[in-house]
Amino acid sequence: PKDADLKWKKAPCRFCGVGCGVLIGLQKGKAVAVKGDPKSSVNKGLCCVKGYHSVLSIYGKDRLTKPLVKKNGKMVETSMKEALDLIASKMQETIKDHGKDAVSMYGSGQWTIPDGYAASKFMKGAIGTNNLEANARLCMASAVTGFMTSFGIDEPMGCYEDIDHADVFILWGNNMAEMHPVLFSRLLDQRMKRKVKIIDFATRTTRTSMAADRSIIFEPQTDLAVANAICYEIIDKGWVNKEFVTKHISFSKGKTKMGYGTEDFYKFKEHEEKIDFDAYKEFLKEYTPEKVARYSGVSVKDIRLMANIYGDPNQKVMSFWCMGMNQHTRGTWINNLVYNIHLLTGKISTPGNSPFSLTGQPSACGTVREVGTLTHKLPHGVVTNKKHREFAAKIWKVPVENIPSKPTYHTVEMFRALDRGEIKFMWIQVTNPMVTMPNLNRYREGCEKTGRFIVVSDIYPTPTTDVADVILPSAMWIEREGLYGNSERRTQYFEKMIDAPGEAISDSWQIIEVARRMGYGDLFPKNEATHAAELYDEYRLHQVGKKHGMAPLEVLKNQPGAMWPFVDGKSTKWRFNAEYDPACDDSKGRFHFYGKKDGKAVIWQRPYEPAAESPNKEYNYWLCTGRVIEHWHTGSMTRRIDVLHQAVPHSYVEVNPDDAKRLNIREGDKVKITSKRGTMTLPASVNGRGVPVKGQVFVPFFDEGYLINDVTLDAFDPISKQPDYKKCAVKIEKV
């Protein structure tokens, strides 16, 4: 269609956490075109291949349009009324027979802010259970615990504008060219305009490495040691920013006694012992570049190169990371270690000096981290804190006793509890755990056991709807009003632009309808057309003050987003810097890390520890999993877009060319991958877009036809409880 024939409306992109602003072209009640929003400071008019094709994901032939209920072992169509009645009665019956903690809800970083807020209020405020988790536990929980331990407050201090000021970009295990493509194009754009460098520090070569000025490969898990070696070198060479460290930093060491159920984890407070700079320096003696080079695969020269970049006072440095650091059995630690580097050199909270943790999903930050759809969280604060419970109860208009003070299960444990039978009812929205759970066989069996009742809300059939007792058709993205929050603390609004097909309704309205049937109707908005806006307005009451104020809806309707803290009509670009952040107390100096009681950020002493499972004689390869640019997560939407599906029609296993030669594996040959937990056979990719180093293989997880998570390991970080999808031991053989 011609541009002029279309009505264009703004929205954030449906896919990834970059949060590009898009304009949706509408014609005759359908979304027919997409272009980048030139007014968006995120993407400045650009989109990636997923963004440009995003509206096609709405019109797949097999959209779920009617509720389905299992009767005599078969899914049969039913009315929305009957399906919602059944869900409400099943929840009530389960609570009556087995207690409140026998029901659970599992959501997503693709929930809109109103969806997540409705879920939190329903589960924690109305029913009174903390059995609420979201898939973001699997993708960014370590980033949260990294922030909480180092700064006492979540989410990046900087913003995307840092890219326009930095001289060097160091990517820590982050294939940014495929995972955060529009941001990566901003890096490349800077390199065309001025002299900037991109260093790709990773375990395999990818499209990012090919575009980088330098690719440095490390042995899986040794990023911990290399980060310490960089700190050693910075201190040894006298590159510490002494004034900054003296005024704004404290030093700590911790013990990892943070097993499931301990109070400390849920307070995000590790057993912390204060140390001094000399003790920290002493600890680093184990991490000289020479010692670390012996087992990390990184040369002394390359360790010194990175230390030199961070240590040079004349170079502004951004560090970027995402799943490579977060999906790590020591994910919290490696987050802390990268902050250590920036804190030692004072390269933080100023334009261009920015440790930047990226998120994967469009609202992992906005919904999961900010609304707090995790077992230990409340929209403002944590359930273990009496004052926070009182604050939430007052806004929710529920007795404070309703909100339990103890967290229950994190994601992996929630599925284990379902397997054990402690949880009998689970409602899954906007996520596909029967593709994404690690060590998947174990959790699929749990879902299929008798006596479990699973509700799945989604827009297409998936392996997760296969285990459902009730399937609810959901309205997607611009078929309803909503808000997302992206990686740079930016909240973005979108209005309802088109009608959802059939009986599909928004996830938040599904929750409200069930809540009403259970007798909690007075707690929620009454009008479907305005409920999302009403929920957002109520949510804002939780986020008051200079440290976390959110922009009002009227502002967000008229501009491509605003960054919190939103104070006196303005976004805050750089937190903890008194020049930009109104929450800072000027008397503390230029910087004030107000998340910590003493106003100081923490440099943590974190040792190198080996991975939970490493290759041995029998299982002699590392397996790493991840994404490709064309497909969003489990591919349930993007595989229904012809052009994206044709570009990458199925998953594959990347094999190093030397290994392939030795095993007589050629492009397309079937390769069987086996771990102690399961097996998967996939076509080989040799010398494709990604090339693993010898002894490693890589598999994208988007394809439900090749469930690589049958093979992966469900070991997790003891602090964040985030599993490690990047490292386990496998054997490979040509079939």
Give catalytic residue positions: 50, 139-140, 323, 360-361
Which one of residues 16, 123, 134, 309 is an interface residue with ligand SF4 (CB under 6 A)? 16
Is residue 630 a known part of a binding site? yes
For residue 163, state whether it binds ligand SF4 (rule: CB under 6 A).
Answer: no
Are 160 and 488 a contacting pair, CB within 8 Å?
A: yes
Report d(CA 208, CA 418) in Å as an integer.
40
Is residue 159 a known part of a binding site? no
In terms of Cβ atoms closer than 10 Å to its own Cβ (0-12, 13-18, 19+), residue 527 is exposed
Interacting positions 554-593 with ligand SF4 (CB under 6 A)? none
Is residue 48 a known part of a binding site? yes
For residue 48, state whether it binds ligand SF4 (rule: CB under 6 A).
Answer: yes
Are 691 and 660 a contacting pair, CB within 8 Å?
A: no
For residue 47, state whether it binds ligand SF4 (rule: CB under 6 A).
Answer: yes
Interacting positions 182-201 with ligand SF4 (CB under 6 A)? 182
Q: Treating both helix axes as pointing N-terminal to C-terminal, what angle do 300-311 and 289-296 enclose, rounded to 10 degrees? A: 120
Q: Of the ranges 13-21, 145-153, 417-425, 710-718, which one interacts with ligand SF4 (CB under 6 A)?
A: 13-21
Report d(CA 479, CA 501) in Å as an integer.
9
Dig out the tokens for 91 from the structure.
């929840």
Q: Of the ranges 46-54, 367-375, 457-465, 620-628, which one interacts with ligand SF4 (CB under 6 A)?
A: 46-54
Is residue 581 a known part of a binding site? no
Task: Name the phi and psi angles at 728, rounded to 5.
Answer: -155, 170
Q: Of the ranges 10-18, 237-245, 316-324, 349-357, which one interacts with ligand SF4 (CB under 6 A)?
A: 10-18
For residue 19, state whether it binds ligand SF4 (rule: CB under 6 A).
Answer: yes
Are 523 and 515 a contacting pair, CB within 8 Å?
A: yes
For residue 477, state whether it binds ligand SF4 (rule: CB under 6 A).
Answer: no
Are 382 and 263 a contacting pair, CB within 8 Å?
A: no
Which one of residues 181, 366, 525, 599 is an interface residue with ligand SF4 (CB under 6 A)? 181
Which one of residues 18, 102, 472, 601 is an interface residue with ligand SF4 (CB under 6 A)? 18
For residue 140, state whether it binds ligand SF4 (rule: CB under 6 A).
Answer: no
Q: To the nearest whole angstrom, how small is the minimum distance from the Cβ of residue 689 to ligand SF4?
A: 17
Q: Of the ranges 44-52, 72-80, 97-105, 542-550, which one interacts with ligand SF4 (CB under 6 A)?
A: 44-52
- Paired strand residues for 74: 71
Instruction: Please identify the residue of the shown chain whose CB is closest to the bound ligand SF4.
Output: 51
For residue 20, state whether it binds ligand SF4 (rule: CB under 6 A).
Answer: yes
Q: Of the ranges 17-25, 121-129, 165-173, 422-430, which one interacts with ligand SF4 (CB under 6 A)?
A: 17-25
Is residue 634 a known part of a binding site? yes
The stretches of 456-559 forming alpha helices (DSSP H) are 507-517, 531-540, 553-558
Number of residues in contact with ligand SF4 under rule CB under 6 A:
13
Per-residue CA distances from 732 to 204, 378, 441, 666, 671 (Å): 18, 45, 19, 14, 7
Report which residue type is found at 257: K
Are 424 and 102 a contacting pair, CB within 8 Å?
A: yes
For residue 13, state whether it binds ligand SF4 (rule: CB under 6 A).
Answer: yes
The set of residues, in sequence order, having a beta carbon less than 8 Å from that of 220 and lying 6+ positions away, is: 203, 611, 622, 624, 696, 726, 727
Q: To the nearest whole angstrom, how small is the minimum distance from the Cβ of residue 54 to ligand SF4?
A: 7
For residue 641, state whether it binds ligand SF4 (rule: CB under 6 A).
Answer: no
Query: Measuring CA to CA, which residue among 242, 144, 152 is closest to residue 602?
Result: 152
Report d(CA 129, CA 120) in Å as an integer.
10
Report d(CA 593, CA 599) in Å as an integer.
5
Q: Which of 110, 340 has the CB closer to ligand SF4?
A: 110
Is residue 222 a known part of a binding site? yes
Are 700 and 651 a contacting pair, CB within 8 Å?
A: yes
For residue 51, state whether it binds ligand SF4 (rule: CB under 6 A).
Answer: yes
Is residue 325 a known part of a binding site? no
Q: Of the ranges 40-48, 96-104, 133-141, 676-684, which one interacts with ligand SF4 (CB under 6 A)?
A: 40-48
For residue 31, state whether it binds ligand SF4 (rule: CB under 6 A).
Answer: no
For residue 50, state whether it binds ligand SF4 (rule: CB under 6 A).
Answer: yes
For residue 671, state whether it binds ligand SF4 (rule: CB under 6 A).
Answer: no
Peptide bond into 355 cis (omega under 30): no
Peptide bond into 565 cis (omega under 30): yes
In a 13 Å sphere around the CA of 184, the CA atoms on its Cβ side amount to: 21
DSSP E strands: which ranges in 284-424? 317-321, 354-357
Q: To the nearest whole angstrom, how small is the minimum distance from the Cβ of residue 595 to ligand SF4?
A: 28
Q: Cα angle vertex 651, ends 631, 714, to 5°?
A: 90
Binding residues for substrate: 701
Binding residues: 13, 16, 20, 48, 50, 110, 135, 139, 221-223, 323, 327, 432, 457-458, 507, 625-634, 701, 709, 726
Q: Which residues bind ligand SF4 (CB under 6 A)?
A: 13, 15-16, 18-20, 43, 47-48, 50-51, 181-182
Binding residues for [4Fe-4S] cluster: 13, 16, 20, 48
